[in-house]
Amino acid sequence: MKTIGIIAPSGVVEKEKLNRAVSFLEAQGFKVKTAKNIIDKKRYLAGNDEEKIEELHKFFQNDDIDLIMCARGGYGAIRLVNKINYDVIKQHPKPFIGFSDVTALLLMIYKKTGIVTYHGPMACSDFGRIEPHLALSDMEVNPTGHGNYSFTLTNFLEAVNGDRLKFEGKKIYKQGNAEGIIWGGNLATVASLCGLDFIPDEDFIFFAEDLNEPVYKIDRMFQQLINIDKFRGKCKGIVLGDFLDVDNENWLEEYFTELADRLNITVAGGFKITHNPEKITIPIGKKSFLHDNTLVID
């Protein structure tokens, strides 16, 4: 039986959602340990940075914890990246999972340690929405109406177990082949790392998603990254997830087509990389191959 440690590096955690998530994960056969500061509040943050760092280090050092899952995103993770002792993480490697604002930690942990991190579901944001009594077979249609949690949980377990992953997108913006490590996450959070040493030294396939961003900001954030010589030189392909609640779908499609032509690399979209609960888990740093709209991660 694996033990999941739940930490709160970003926004304020709702106790009700946390309790639901813990109940759900325990019902799936996991043991669960939560950080001592997990329901602390400091303005819009889940407590103060020093306690977050302390708990992060403790959870990596605790051999009884098999993997660490973040409670939710929001804002706050980027405040931690220059305060973490990455040697502690490197000496005690284990899966670290989250998405959205947690992208900052996923990318910096990979950059500083070389340890694969996981862009995938979070305790409160995903499993905290599920009625605890639901069986796995009932999760495809659940009372909250939020989506197929069975798909999300199954894919998460396959990814952290090291299985070979294969995903099909729905759209091809530019055909072709690309290979490299899979790397990326929430676009706004990736762009917020500009100014730090965060881009991989290896060739990579960049994946991205976002929520509530107008098209001009999506354009601007991609442009921030493209302006970096190392990003432009190492990026061999792009995998696009959901860009939810965008202001103009037609403009977004036009922009992605323009982006693919401009970079002249394989670009595919329509992958379930998303803020929606029905999502795939991406192991950041693993070797990957993109052929048209088929992504394979070894």
Q: What is the fold of 165-297? A: Glucose Oxidase; domain 1 (3.50.30)
Give the start-to-end residue ranges of the domains of the chain.
3-160, 165-297
* Per-chain mean pLDDT for the chain: 94
Which of 95, 102, 121 has its CA nearest to residue 21? 121
Q: Is the pLDDT of residue 169 over 60?
A: yes
Top pLDDT among 150 and 271 is at 271
| Per-residue confidence (pLDDT) for residue 102, from 0 to 100 | 98
Instruction: Look at residue 54 in the predicted model and tell me its pLDDT.
Output: 97
Predicted TM-score of the model (pTM): 0.94
User: For residues 234 and 197, is the Cβ–Cβ distance under 8 A?
Assistant: no
Percentage of the chain lying above the pLDDT 70 cut: 94
Fold type of domain 3-160: Rossmann fold (3.40.50)
Q: Please list, in sequence order, all residues whose beta carbon lies within 8 angstroms of the beta carbon of residue 174, skipping any fewer than 6 positions away.
A: 260, 261, 264, 265, 266, 267
